[in-house]
Structures are given as structure tokens and as C-alpha cells.
Amino acid sequence: MKKILSFTCVLILMFGTFHSCHSSPTDGTQAGSSDSSPATIERKQEPIETTVLQGKTFYQELAGNGKVTASRSAEVRFKTVERIAHVWVRNGQRVEAGQKLAELDKFRLERSLAQAKDNLEQSRLNLQDLLIGRGYSLEEINSSHSLKPLPLGGGLEEASDFHLAAIKSGYNKALIAYELAAKELEQATLTAPFSGVVANLTAKADNLSSTGEAFCLVIDDAQPEVAFTVLESELPMVRPGYRVAVIPFAERDPQARVWGEVTEVNPYVESNGMVKVKARVANNGRLIEGMNVKVTLRQPMGERLVIPKSAVVMRSGKPVVFTLTHGKAQWNYVEVLAENSDSCTVAPRTKEYEGLSAGDTVIVKGNLNLAHDSEL
């Protein structure tokens, strides 16, 4: 029985295969139809873009690498070792000049100031007793402005009765101790020396402060400087006031580029033939201290015939520019005089030289596969 069923299934499959091979197609678009023909591929012409050639200022470029440095930065540190009571900032936070950054526990410092003040008052009474004993009245003592420590280098022979009495009574020593205690209490609160951004902050509240390490770094990053080097032979292209373009290595967005100008050229050629240059740029928020950047310095070369670099194509190893004339592409050999990152300048047309002239309509896109007299 099993053999009969298996044989029946084989017959059904063979019949279906035979029927499908010999059945006529019902749709003329099927691959097996006798009237089918190879598909025709329509080649679409690449769209072109043109620009009218005009004379304009051409900028020769000098490219290099540099490093961002802040125009000013300051390490902020505590002067005494105490428990850190408060930390009000974090790394990357922008602060204003005079804004509080952190504060120590002031209990011991306040007590030290109170004790220094008490000692100062005691020494003042001793001073008054000495001066009264020498015949001075309280009015003369209170109105005197001479009760200050002697200047450095001053001897006792230069001292008045008031100074001698201040030394003997211990008033000068007590005054110095009071001023030091007051200064330590003032420095227990760290403030920003100028507006900027906080960096290198590692300290935390409820830990002891350190006098050997900075609490944080405040960086003024509004107009950072970019330090880079140029070759001795490139010095003619570098002058204070020349424009520079700066973009971080990690950035791919052209909008991240910022502009600035050269501020100083160090008048010294190092042993490797390099000269140090600095430029100041306006920060767009993407430049940070120590960042590696690409620097492009631009030197104006006067008015030239300037075209985009995309307009130049190579034919038989020679630079060619296509112009559009009466709906046809015209082949023009050109001499590229100089080029930068996005454009180049070409020699003008003369009787002896083909070249280009102001007013020509130059094809800047879609020119890779063009030929002379191509219909457009």
C-alpha cells in the first residue's frame, strides 16, 4: 500500500512539471514570451552648475597644526588646611568674576581671628599707658597715624616715640598677627579671579584641603590663543593682522571653523628651522584648553580670476575648464597659477594663450564626462 501511494505522488509531480513547461504564457510581459526584447537603459545626463567668472581677491593659504591655549588662566588654591565645608561648582561650569567656588570650615579661623583681635586690643592699652607715661594725651594718641610697623630697612634711630612705644608694647606684633588671621579667614572662601570656565576640579566636600595642590583651574576661554609654527621660508606669508581659520581635528562640520588673526610672530628661528606664531580667535564654544586644531592662514594676493577647484578637470594630463557657450560645452586649456582649499586662480586669456576671461560662464559641476561641443 505504501509503495502504491508513493508511486501515485511521483506521477502527480511529474505531470505538474510537464504541464508548467508546455503551458503558453498569458501575459506578454513574462520572461518566456517570444516577443520579449532586452531592456533599454536610459542614461541620464548629470546636471550641471555654472558660475560667471569674475575677478576677486584670491587668498593664498598656509596650512598647519596648532594647540589652543587660554588667553589667561589661574590656579585657585586654599592657603590653609581645613575641612572643605562647601563646593559650589563643577568641571565645565561657567563662572563670573568674584563668584564663590568653595569654602572651608571657618570655626578655627574665626576663633583665631577673635584671639588675634583680643591680643591687639590688649597691646593697644599697653601702648597707651607707655605714651601717657611720656606725656602724650589720649587725643594725640588717638589722632596719630604713626602707629604702623616701620618700613623694611628702617632703624630705631628713624623711629618716633610712637613707633618705639608700639614696639615695646607689642602693638606692632599684635597688629601683624591680626592682619594675618583676617587674611586667612578671607581666603577660606575661594572666588573666581575672572569670568571663565572651571577645569581640573577633583576636591570634594568634607575632605581636608591641600595647600600643595590647586583646588581647580579657572580658564578664560572667550578669546583663546592658538600657538602654531611655520617654516622659515614661509615667514613672508605671516604678518600680525593676517586672518586665520581654526577647526578642531575631531570636527568634520565646516561650521565648527572659527576665524581670528595673527597677534604675534616670535622673531627667532629655532634649530629645526621653525618659527613660533600665535593667533587669537573668537571661541564658538567648541575650543577648549590644550585642544589640537588645524590652522589655515590666509594671505591676500590681490584681484585674480578665481574659480572653484571643482571646475578644473584633467584631460591628457593637462588642466581643462569647460565653459558654456550657446548651449554647448567648450574645452579650454588653463594655467593654474595658485590654489587653496576650495578655489584656484587661472591665467587670463591672451592672444597667445587660450585661458579664460572675466564674464565667461564656467561649468563647475557635472563636467567630469563632458567633451568639446557637448550639447547641454
User: What pLDDT shows up at residue 114?
Assistant: 96
Averaged pLDDT score across all residues of the chain: 82
In this prediction the pTM is: 0.63
Domains of the chain: 49-58+304-375 (2.40.420.20), 60-71+221-301 (2.40.30.170), 75-218 (2.40.50.100)
The top-scoring range by mean pLDDT among 48-52, 56-60, 114-118, 169-173 is: 114-118
Residue 118 half-sphere exposure toward CB, CA atoms < 13 A = 6
Q: 114 to each of 119, 149, 182, 193, 334, how far by Cα in Å?
A: 9, 21, 9, 28, 87
pLDDT-derived band of residue 176, with 50, 70 and 90 as boundaries? very high
| Residue labelled with grid coordinates 503551458 | 23
Q: Which three cell numbers stand for residue 176?
A: 601683624
pLDDT-derived band of residue 141, with 50, 70 and 90 as boundaries? low
pLDDT-derived band of residue 138, with 50, 70 and 90 as boundaries? low
Q: At what angle do helices 171-186 and 107-133 cross, to 10 degrees?
A: 160
